[in-house]
């Protein structure tokens, strides 16, 4: 009696020398079934001796032929291609056995232990390098932010000083303009003040009568004391 349901055989792990002379441990699984038609059933009995073991042997030989032409790195990166070639070969070779290959699965391609350790170190070093770059970039970003903040603070302080100076200059300008406008309309009074300035010389005090126009203009100037007419 022949089992026509889907079955699986393990190609069993084997050491395969890659094109770059490294021993890779390779394992694969093959899923198949015997076709249910009478001719296929007879083919699985009469055309092959123990089709299961023959499928295993064929799979192992095919894997050696394929992976032997690849470097270890290529073999690991081209698993899909290896699977496709393995399936194609098994499919063609088992037709006369009444066998249908359902699918193949490449389980592992492991490098030698020392090579694996070296690869792990390379990956670790690369990860540490990336982490260091990320850390340096982050620190640079923080430093740049602090620098920009200080620049803005300095610019703000500078602008404040400029505005303050401009305010003082504007105030002085307004006072001068007000004085100019006042004295333009009081030319005689201006001449009196100029004469007063000359007469003072180095003196610090002068007595003038109260109620005069000069008193109102001079205001609280130091050294000027109004004279009350009622005083004797």
What domains, with CATH codes, occur in the chain? Answer: 7-111 (3.30.479.30), 188-227 (no CATH)
Q: What is the pTM of this model?
A: 0.51
pLDDT at 212: 58
Instruction: Decide if 128 contacts 135 (C-beta within 8 A).
Output: no
* 182, 183, 192, 193 from 187: Cα distances, Å: 9, 6, 9, 10
201 pLDDT more than 90: no
How sure is the predictor about 111, in pLDDT bands with cuts at 50, 70 and 90?
confident
Per-residue confidence (pLDDT) for residue 220, from 0 to 100: 44
Q: Per-residue pLDDT tens for 137-164?
A: 777 787 788 888 888 887 888 887 887 7
- CB of 111 within 8 A of CB of 22? yes
Q: Name the range with the highest mean pLDDT among 25-29, 198-202, 208-212, 223-227.
A: 25-29
Q: What sign results for the dihedral spanned by CA atoms 174, 175, 180, 186?
A: positive
pLDDT band at 224 (very low <50, low <70, confident <90, very high): very low
- Evaluate if residue 222 carries a pLDDT over 50: no
- The pLDDT of 197-210, averaged and rounded, is 60
Q: Is the pLDDT of residue 15 over 90?
A: yes
Task: Tell me the pLDDT of the chain averaged across its residues.
Answer: 80
């Amino acid at each position: 009696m022949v089992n026509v349901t889907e079955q699986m055989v393990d190609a069993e792990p084997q050491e395969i020398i890659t094109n770059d002379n490294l021993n890779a441990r390779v394992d694969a699984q093959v899923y198949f079934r015997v076709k249910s038609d009478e001719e296929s059933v007879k083919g699985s009995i009469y055309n092959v001796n123990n089709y299961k073991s023959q499928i295993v042997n064929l799979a192992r030989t095919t894997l050696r032929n394929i992976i032997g032409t690849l470097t270890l790195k290529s073999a690991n990166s081209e698993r899909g291609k290896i699977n496709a070639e393995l399936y194609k070969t098994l499919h063609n070779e088992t037709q006369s056995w009444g066998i249908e290959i359902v699918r193949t699965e490449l389980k592992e391609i492991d490098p030698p232990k020392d090579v694996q350790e070296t690869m792990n170190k390379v990956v670790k070093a690369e990860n540490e390098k990336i982490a260091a770059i990320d850390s340096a970039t982050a620190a640079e970003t923080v430093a740049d932010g602090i620098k920009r903040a200080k620049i803005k603070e300095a610019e703000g302080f500078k602008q404040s000083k400029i505005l303050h100076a401009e305010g003082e200059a504007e105030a002085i300008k307004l006072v001068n303009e007000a004085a100019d406008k006042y004295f333009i309309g009081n030319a005689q009074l201006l001449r009196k003040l100029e004469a007063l300035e000359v007469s003072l010389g180095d003196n610090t005090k002068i007595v003038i009568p109260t109620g005069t126009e000069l008193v109102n203009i001079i205001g609280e100037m130091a050294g000027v004391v109004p004279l009350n007419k009622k005083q004797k």
